[in-house]
Chains A and B, each alone.
Chain A
Amino acid sequence: MNEIGGAPLFFLEFGDIVIYFTPFTLTLFLLALVFSVFVLVSRPERQIDIAFGGDAYYAKEISLSELRFRRFMSIACGLACMGAMVTGDVFDFTLFVSLVGICNVGIVAAVRSRHVQNAAYQYGLVALAGTVPMFAAAAMVAATTGTLSMLELAKGTATVPVAARALLVLGVMGEGMAPFYAAKAEMFRAPGAPYVIMCSLSSLLIFLRVAEVILLI
Chain B
Amino acid sequence: MIAELLFATFFGLLLLGIHRKVIARIQRRPGPPVWQEILHMLKFSFKTTWVPATASAALFVGVVLVAIGIWTAALLVILSGGSLLVIFAIYMLHKIVEHGFGLSSGSPYGKFGGVRSVISAASEIPLFVTVAAIAIFTKSLMISDIVAYQEVHGPLLATIPLAAVAMYVVLLSKMPFGPFSIVESKELVSGYKTEHFGVWRAGLEVCNGLKTYVLLMTFILVFIGSLPFWMILVAMILVTVSLSFVCALSPMLSPYDSVTIQTLIAGLMVAYVALLGVMS
A interface residues (Cβ-Cβ under 8 A, vs B)? 1, 3-6, 22-24, 27-28, 31, 34-35, 38, 41-50, 59, 179-180, 182-183, 187-188, 191-194, 196-197, 200-201, 204, 207-208, 211-212, 215
Contact = CB atoms under 8 A, between A and B. Distances in A.
A194 to B, nearest CB: 5
A27 B95 contact: no
Nearest to B58: A42
B146 to A, nearest CB: 12
Interface of B: 53-60, 62-63, 66, 70, 73, 77, 82-83, 85-86, 88-90, 92-93, 95-96, 99-100, 103-108, 111, 114-115, 118-119, 121, 128, 135, 139-142
Contact of B85 (A4, A31, A182): A4
Contacts of A22: 83
Nearest to A31: B93
A212 B85 contact: yes
Contacts of B57: 42-43
Contacts of B93: 31, 201, 204
A131 B139 CA distance: 32
14 contacts: A6-B82, A6-B142, A24-B89, A27-B86, A31-B66, A34-B66, A47-B106, A47-B111, A48-B108, A187-B115, A193-B103, A197-B103, A204-B96, A211-B88
Contacts of A201: 93, 96
Contact of A23 (B66, B83, B128): B83
A210 B106 CA distance: 33
A133 to B, nearest CB: 19
Contact of B107 (A48, A187, A191, A204): A48
A6 B56 CA distance: 35
Contacts of B99: 197, 200
B62 A6 contact: no
B210 to A, nearest CB: 15
